[in-house]
């Protein structure tokens, strides 16, 4: 099965390859350049972005398209980090899953009205880790990485997958 991932981000590629190995026999997972939104700031925007990524991958000639979007969402005045994965095939969503949520520290929350989370994290630690551990690694002091966090939403999407 030819699978296209609507991203070339290494953390997302690692998570996708791990999920596909557990659920499918795939020749390979190809990471693809696709158009994407700015930092989604709610579940609806993130879901829309993941669907768009998955559709764009599918429409490039793949049997299954996968889209993953990290996002920040507000709940009762606090901001949380999460990620959503969508599987797309044959003009329909065939799987959808979300990772858990982690509350952002107040000093980061205070900056989100002006900056994207990636910029805040880069400023906090002084380097770009979006391809590696990501924000989740910073928030958990390295106990969980972006590929692991992303994998959780992919695992949940594949659990929902309508074969």
Mean pLDDT of 19-45: 84
Is a pLDDT exceeding 70 seen at residue 132? Answer: no
Please state, in angstroms and rounded to a whole number, the distance separating the CA atoms of residues 120 and 64: 34
In this prediction the pTM is 0.89
Q: What is the pLDDT of residue 119?
A: 83
Q: What is the pLDDT of residues 91-131, one digit of tens each?
A: 899 999 999 999 999 988 898 888 887 788 778 777 666 66
Phi, psi for 138 (deg, rounded to 5): -65, -45
Please state, in angstroms and rounded to a whole number, the distance separating the CA atoms of residues 33 and 17: 17
Instruction: Enter the tokens of residue 136.
Output: 């989740």
Q: What is the pLDDT of residues 38-82, one digit of tens each?
A: 889 999 999 999 999 999 999 999 999 999 999 999 999 999 999
Residue 65, SS3 per DSSP: strand
Q: What is the pLDDT of residue 128?
A: 64
Residues in the chain: 163
Q: What is the pLDDT of residue 18?
A: 86
| Residue 2: closest CA among 51, 61, 49 | 61
Bigger pLDDT: 163 vs 77: 77
One-letter-per-residue 3-state SS of 9-41 = CHHHHHHHHHHHHHHCCCCEEEECCCCCCCCCC
């Amino acid at each position: 099965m030819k699978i296209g991932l609507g991203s070339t981000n290494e953390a997302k590629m690692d998570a996708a390859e791990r999920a596909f190995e557990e659920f499918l026999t795939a020749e390979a997972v190809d990471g693809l350049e696709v158009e994407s939104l700015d930092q989604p700031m709610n579940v609806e925007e993130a879901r829309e972005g993941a669907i768009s990524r998955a559709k764009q991958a599918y429409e490039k000639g793949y049997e299954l398209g996968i889209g993953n979007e990290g996002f920040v969402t507000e709940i009762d005045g606090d901001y949380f980090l999460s990620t959503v994965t969508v599987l797309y095939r044959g003009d329909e969503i065939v799987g959808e899953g979300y990772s858990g949520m982690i509350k952002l520290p107040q000093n980061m929350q205070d900056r989100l009205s002006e900056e994207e989370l990636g910029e805040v994290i880069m400023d906090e630690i002084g380097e770009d880790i979006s391809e590696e551990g990501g924000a989740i690694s910073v928030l958990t002091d390295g106990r969980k990485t972006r590929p692991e966090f992303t994998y959780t939403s992919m695992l949940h999407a594949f659990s929902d997958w309508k074969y």
